[in-house]
Amino acid sequence: MRSRLWLLIPLLLTSLASAQTTPGELAGALQAAARTGHAAAYQKLLRAEGTFAVEAVNFAADLGRMPQPTAVFQFSDVGVNGPQVRANLNLSWERQPGQVSQVSLPVKLFREGEVWHYGGEALQALPAGQYSLLALDVPGLPVQAAAVAPLLSQAAARVRETLGVGVPNAATVKVYPGMAVLSASVALSLQPVGGWNEPGEAIKLVLPGGANPDQELLRVLSHEFTHLSVSEAAGQGRDKRLPWWLHEGLADFVARAYWTPGAAESRRERVAGYAKGDWVPLSELVDFNAVPESQWKYAYAQGLALVEFLANACGKDAPMRLALAFAETGEADGAARALGFASFSDLETQVRTWLMMRGSGVAINSDTAEAESR
């Protein structure tokens, strides 16, 4: 009986994808695809334009990896005049057992003949010079998000000064009112985050609170701009060869200019402890989708540590040389040898030794570090 049920599910989803003649039917079809993890059926329900074209495919792929059997999709406040209307998408799902998430966000729906399609979030464009700045169209947010515009060029300059790569002029930044809403626009399996970027997608961020919001915005923008710039430098397709820990290490290497002293010291102490006995092999932190949430902290801290070591040992341009070597070779040993190390294991061992020396208060200058790298 179970095998027959699974044979029927694709037929059911195909039927729903071709018969959504009301917003309610469209919500039901989206929900059915999310619950069963049918990525192809989900994509058939969309009208994907701009960066949403890539974001929607990645959202669907996440459903394929991690179906959401408790997901509920509902549209409310639907305007029914014309081929494009605005509505509110009300989402609830159990991201992890016992952890129910609920969000509501304004979205666009398109009616083509008698069939309805989902077009992603409703956003308001804001002046931002050479960049594209958009804010989720909820009361008050576009006015607040205007503060992001003058910081974009400053964050881009930080990336260029630190890594020698430029931020694409066509970069798009989308601003959301909260972490749960941002994460729900990325993937239902994603924990709440304050910043996000993947190749081909927009940079997504949440406006910070606190005493120094501009400093926090620059931290997030420079981090996410780094992801965008490194992917661009590596080249389409080849950017996927860069390990996740290196992406995050490079991004934090740039963004640390905007860290508070307390945050910098905390990270330094933590990674020194990892080096002494709690180190996760970097080979286990390569693929974001395969790394458990409990190990995300290692990808960021250890990735930054390796980047810092290279900058000290081999020069300011060494971190990007490693990234480009990964893009070229597609494997760790080849990338490490391109920088003069015997193997990636050799590089990783030297990073841990350097961290332990730094953590013990031993003075390390670039000449000493460079000698050790040989």
> What pLDDT score was predicted for residue 80?
75
Residues 239 and 214 in one domain: no
pLDDT score of 170: 84
pLDDT confidence of residue 9 = 47
How crowded is residue 111: how many other Cβ atoms within 10 Å of its Cβ? 20
Answer yes or no: do 293 and 353 share one domain: yes
pLDDT confidence of residue 12: 46
Q: What pLDDT sits at residue 236?
A: 87
Domain of residue 220 covers: 123-233
Instruction: Give Cβ neighbours of residue 129 (< 8 Å, ≥ 6 apart).
Output: 149, 152, 153
User: Tens digit of pLDDT for each residue in 85-105?
Assistant: 999 999 999 998 888 999 999
CATH value at residue 20: 3.10.450.50
Instruction: Specify the pLDDT at position 233.
Output: 96
User: What is the reported pLDDT for 210?
Assistant: 80
Same domain flag for 155 and 22: no
φ, ψ at 320 (rounded to 5°): -70, -30
The last residue of a domain, from among 60, 89, 121: 121
Whether residue 159 sits in one domain with residue 70: no
Whether 266 and 357 share a structural domain: yes
362 and 271 in a common domain: yes
Out of 210, 233, 256, pick the residue that ends a domain. Answer: 233
188 and 261 fall within a common domain: no
- Angle in degrees, CA 369, 372, 374, rounded to 5: 120
pLDDT at 96: 85
pTM score, two decimals?
0.89
pLDDT given for residue 82 in this prediction: 80
Question: For position 150, which CATH number holds?
Answer: 3.30.2010
The Cα 115–Cα 24 span in angstroms is 12
Specify the pLDDT at position 18: 56
User: Helix, strand, or coil here: 72?
Assistant: strand
| Positions in the chain whose pLDDT score sits under 70 | 1-18, 359-374
Task: Tally the domains of the chain.
Answer: 3
DSSP string, 148-210: GGGGHHHHHHHHHHHHS-PPPTT-EEEEESSHHHHHHHH-TTSPP-SEE--TTSPEEEE---S
Which among 209, 233, 257 is the end of a domain?
Answer: 233
Query: In terms of domains, do 8 and 84 share one?
Result: yes
